Amino acid sequence: MPQITKRSPKIRFEFVAAKKQSILGGLPAIGALAQRFGLWAKIRALPGIDLRVRTTHGYAPELNVAQLLYSFCSGGASLADAERLNEEPLARQLARVGRFADQTLLGEWLRKQTETSIAAFWQLISEFVSWAIAQADAARWTHAVRAEVFFDDTQIEVFGPPLRGR
């Protein structure tokens, strides 16, 4: 099997009436942000991240990360959800692949990560957060000169008196 790598997408946007819309419409923005940060090249440069025996075969690490990132950003919570991206032409087009890895291959790749590669990932995440903060107008993410964070999860809402003794 030839090496499968994550390449830059060539997407042209056209707004037209459609009969079938993708729920993944925000993924091009995620892809553009990753491209602007240089995420894919930075992932390729991480020490110990490419665990393939022959680098001319299999899925490159940046493609595995792209698949997981696209899955998480579209509500995915498992490796099975990441595999289901194969059913989404938009996600495949963004990664410029005919097919993503299945959940077994993703799981194997994740289990093979070492302390070194995991530490490198954490460092890259920290670098991304610092970069994103520097890109944003401080007035958009601060209130009274302090970082403002708001979480809203409408999936779980609990209210009312406690049910003691029932």
> Where are the domains positioned within the chain?
3-137
Q: Name the pTM for this structure.
A: 0.73
Q: Residue 140's pLDDT is what?
A: 78
Q: Alpha-carbon distance 162 to 166, whole Å?
A: 10
- Torsion of the alpha carbons at 28, 61, 115 and 39, rounded to the nearest 10: -40
The DSSP output letter for 140 is: H
Structure tokens at 151: 């979480």
Is pLDDT at 166 greater than 60 in this prediction?
no
Query: Could you tell me the two tokens for 4?
Result: 């499968």
Short-list 111, 113, 83, CA closest to 99: 83
The string of pLDDT tens digits covering residues 11-32 is 666 666 666 666 777 888 898 8
Give 96-130 pLDDT, tens digit per residue: 899 999 999 999 999 999 999 999 999 999 999 99
